[in-house]
């Protein structure tokens, strides 16, 4: 990888979420292993676009962080305003899209221009100056590869068009559930992609399987090591259950509060720790009101956004990670972090979560929305300390084998080199 310059369109903030931490860890590991330049375009809601470009020497290379102005003071998105709902006509829609609209002959003759005109989906958060910033970047640097971590919007459309006009290959890396490929806007913008990748192999559309690569995820096993956790002053009489995720509706905090209340009625007390960036202050207030109404407000602790070391310390005092998510998950890194800390996980079976644990060995997969079973398994695991510790040991082994940062970087390097070689940029 030596000598190359990579441009990332992250469509994520500088910090505070799973995708942000994933990219930060990945970039720094790649730069330690290779002499290259990584330019990361990230979202910023700083007032008046006041965030500044940052250049940092890392390992053998250079990391340049380039802010993009969203013009937003809040990060709450329409996608997180309600729980994911299943469409009754999803099968028919999929068949129509895959076998009619994207039929090679029909697409070329009938649908190509129609779909292009409808391709960019509206989204609450968008980089308003993506085109101008990308033009400046392409003028100032010789870009070898563009990596899109989000497509489907007008901002991504502008960057893709620029890459194509400069004859620079671009790839798409999906960090969420692979059902996102059902969006026409996404399918349209990746038609000319040199490669398509994701963090999970679950539900990859049949028409994309030959082009799709599973790059999975990875964490720093040295940071997330049980013996490195620092003590936290807590009442030891109650078992700690942690949910480290953005405070948005689809991440399931409301279900966990309900589970806490159900256990309290059974005279089984737990302390719920909600850690994460608050993307919806309104929703956070709703959660606190819900906790008061269910008489568990004293059992719910909001600790805010944590860095990795702080999060590790909270894992160190936690008995279980509970994640009743409704979000379109790719492969949640919190599952890997918790298991690396020998903390078993209970999670709704959504998107790629099934690839993040070993059911009944390192944790439990629960059908989405089955709060009764979720609560039952949570109680069982909290009561049975021997089972919990055994699962924790197996969980660390599982993460060591599959999700180290070095293995993650190696998968990315192989993917990038294959694309670059294909386009004769080596």
Q: Which of these ranges, 59-63, 178-182, 216-220, 363-367, has the smallest mean pLDDT?
A: 178-182
C-alpha to C-alpha distance for 304 and 311, rounded to whole angstroms: 10
Please write down the long-range contacts of 44-53, taking CB distance under 8 Å and 24 or more positions apart: 44/13, 44/14, 44/68, 44/69, 44/70, 45/13, 45/70, 45/71, 45/72, 45/73, 45/74, 45/75, 47/73, 49/129
Cα atoms in the 13 Å half-sphere on the side-chain side of 15: 5
Give mean pLDDT, residues 140-160.
96
- Encoded tokens for 333: 């890194």
Q: What is the pLDDT of residues 233-266, one digit of tens each?
A: 887 778 999 999 999 999 999 999 999 999 999 9
pLDDT above 90 for 338: yes
Mean pLDDT, rounded, of the chain: 89
pLDDT value for 87: 43
**Residue-level pLDDT at 93:** 55
The single-letter DSSP state of residue 294 is: T
**What is the rounded CA–CA span in Å between residue 17 and residue 191?**
29
pLDDT digits (tens, 9 = 90+) for 104-124: 555 556 655 555 555 555 455
The domains found in the chain, sorted by start residue, are 5-87+118-218+405-422 (3.40.50.2000), 226-402 (3.40.50.2000)
Question: Residue holding tokens 């960057």?
Answer: 159
pLDDT band at 82, cuts 50/70/90?
very low
Residues of the chain with pLDDT > 70, as a percent, come to 86
Pairing assessment for the beta strands 170-174 and 37-44 based on DSSP bridges: unpaired
- What's the confidence (pLDDT) of residue 367? 98
CB atoms within 10 A of CB 46: 13
pLDDT for 166 equals 96
- Residue 79 has a pLDDT of 41
Sign for the pseudo-dihedral over CA of 323, 12, 45, 84: negative
């Amino acid at each position: 990888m030596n000598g190359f310059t990579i441009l990332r369109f992250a469509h994520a903030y500088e910090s505070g979420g799973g995708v942000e931490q994933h990219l930060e860890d990945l970039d720094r590991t790649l730069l330690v292993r290779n002499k290259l330049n990584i330019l990361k375009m990230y979202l910023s809601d700083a007032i008046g676009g006041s965030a500044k470009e940052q250049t940092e020497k890392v390992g053998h290379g250079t990391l340049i962080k380039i802010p993009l102005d969203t013009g937003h003071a809040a990060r709450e998105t329409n996608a997180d305003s309600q729980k994911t709902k299943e469409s009754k006509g999803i099968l028919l829609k999929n068949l129509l899209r895959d076998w009619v609209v994207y039929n090679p002959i029909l697409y070329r003759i009938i649908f190509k221009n129609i779909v292009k005109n409808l391709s960019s989906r509206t989204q609450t958060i968008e980089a308003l100056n993506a085109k101008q910033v990308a033009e400046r970047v392409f003028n100032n640097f010789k870009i070898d590869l563009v990596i899109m971590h989000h497509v489907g919007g007008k901002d991504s459309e502008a960057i893709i068009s620029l890459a194509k006009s400069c004859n620079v290959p671009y790839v798409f890396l999906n960090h969420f559930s692979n059902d996102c490929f059902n969006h026409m806007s996404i399918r349209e913008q990746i038609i000319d992609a040199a490669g398509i990748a994701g963090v999970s192999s679950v539900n990859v559309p049949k028409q994309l399987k030959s082009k799709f690569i599973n790059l999975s995820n990875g964490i720093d096993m040295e940071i997330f090591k049980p013996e490195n956790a620092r003590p936290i002053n807590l009442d030891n009489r109650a078992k700690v259950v942690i949910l480290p995720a953005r405070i948005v509706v689809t991440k399931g905090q409301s279900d966990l509060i309900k589970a806490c209340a159900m256990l309290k009625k059974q005279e089984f007390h737990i302390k719920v720790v909600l850690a994460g960036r608050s993307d919806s202050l309104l929703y956070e207030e709703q959660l606190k009101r819900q906790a008061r109404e269910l008489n568990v407000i004293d059992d719910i602790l909001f600790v805010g956004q944590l860095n990795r070391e702080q999060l590790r310390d909270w894992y160190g005092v936690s008995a279980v990670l509970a994640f009743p998510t409704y979000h379109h998950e790719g492969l949640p890194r919190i599952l890997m972090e918790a298991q690396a800390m020998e903390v078993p996980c209970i999670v709704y079976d959504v998107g790629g979560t099934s690839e993040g644990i070993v059911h009944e060995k390192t944790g439990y997969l629960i059908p989405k929305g089955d709060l009764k079973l979720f609560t039952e398994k949570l109680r069982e695991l909290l009561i049975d300390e021997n089972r919990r510790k055994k699962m924790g040991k197996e969980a660390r082994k599982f993460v060591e084998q599959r999700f180290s940062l070095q293995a993650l970087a190696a998968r990315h390097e192989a993917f990038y080199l294959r694309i670059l070689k294909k386009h004769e940029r080596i």
